[in-house]
């Protein structure tokens, strides 16, 4: 009986040690996964930032020119504000020439916006796709971990069951079936 009790105690201690080791390993695994995901995310963000800098750096000089032209336009508008009726805008000089100049400025603005906007939408779409992939991967990993944990629990159950049956068999051999019956069935 003392041998059986000692074997059971050792088995329980080994099982507890295995469970604790498994928990430590799982925590390490979660931490490593978190680090990998964070590094991948930082790398993607850096790549996106580099691409944005690449696209936007040529526009800095154009932006300065645009700011100056806008300031000039705003100053002109402020200077002539008292002349603006509610339904019409006062235009000095030839109206068709003014409209042609406005058409050119609007075309330039439209081209600049067309250059900048598609790259942002493409980058956003790529980032969205990457985020969806990361979410799917994390869900799959979570499912795999749950399956592994269930398998470990089932294995632990089977080991405990086998040890109990083995111990019962040893007790039956050592003490006889009649004595052991009284232990289990009062």
Each residue's pLDDT, cut to its tens digit, for the chain (186 residues) gives: 778 888 889 999 999 999 999 999 999 999 999 999 999 999 999 999 888 888 777 777 777 777 888 888 877 777 666 554 545 566 667 777 877 888 888 888 888 777 776 665 666 677 778 888 888 888 888 888 888 888 888 888 888 889 888 888 888 888 887 877 777 776
Angstrom CA distances, 98 to 12, 85, 176, stand at: 92, 18, 114
Would you say residue 139 lies in a domain? yes
> Residue 81's pLDDT is what?
60
Helix/strand/coil for 1: coil
How many domains is the chain built from?
Answer: 1
Is the Cα torsion angle 75, 79, 84, 90 positive or negative in sign? negative
Would you say residue 1 lies in a domain? no
> Residue 42's pLDDT is what?
95
Domain that holds residue 139: 125-185
Would you say residue 3 lies in a domain? no
> Residue 84's pLDDT is what?
46
> Residue 39's pLDDT is what?
96
Q: 92: left (phi > 0), else alpha (psi -120 to 50), else beta? A: beta
Would you say residue 73 lies in a domain? no
Give the C-alpha separation, 85 to 167, whole Å. Answer: 104
Q: 89: left (phi > 0), else alpha (psi -120 to 50), else beta? A: beta
Would you say residue 138 lies in a domain? yes
Can you list the pairs that 59-67 forms with residues at least 24 positions away whose Cβ atoms lie under 8 Å?
A: 59/112, 59/115, 59/116, 62/112, 66/109, 66/112
Would you say residue 17 lies in a domain? no
Residue 19: CB atoms within 10 A of its CB come to: 13
> Residue 186's pLDDT is what?
62
* Dihedral of the alpha carbons of 66, 60, 110, 125, in degrees to the nearest 10: -150
Half-sphere exposure of 117 (CA within 13 A, CB side): 6
> Residue 54's pLDDT is what?
83
Furthest-apart CA pair in the chain: how many Å? 121
Would you say residue 112 lies in a domain? no
> Residue 86's pLDDT is what?
44
Would you say residue 150 lies in a domain? yes
């Amino acid at each position: 009986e003392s041998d059986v009790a000692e074997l059971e105690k050792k088995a329980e201690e080994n099982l507890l040690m295995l469970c604790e080791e498994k928990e430590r390993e799982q925590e390490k695994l979660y931490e490593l996964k978190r680090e990998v995901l964070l590094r991948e995310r930082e790398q993607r963000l850096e790549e996106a930032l580099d691409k944005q800098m690449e696209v936007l750096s040529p526009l800095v000089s154009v932006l300065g020119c645009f700011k100056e032209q806008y300031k000039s336009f705003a100053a002109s508008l402020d200077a002539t504000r008292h002349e603006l009726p509610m339904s019409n805008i006062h235009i000095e000089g030839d109206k068709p020439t003014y409209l042609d100049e406005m058409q050119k400025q609007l075309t330039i603005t439209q081209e600049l916006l067309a250059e900048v906007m598609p790259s942002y939408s493409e980058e956003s779409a790529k980032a969205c796709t990457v985020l969806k992939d990361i979410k799917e991967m994390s869900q799959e990993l979570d499912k795999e971990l749950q399956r592994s944990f269930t398998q470990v629990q089932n294995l632990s159950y089977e080991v405990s069951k086998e040890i109990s049956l083995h111990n019962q068999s040893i007790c039956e051999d050592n003490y006889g079936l009649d004595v052991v019956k009284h232990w289990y069935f009062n």
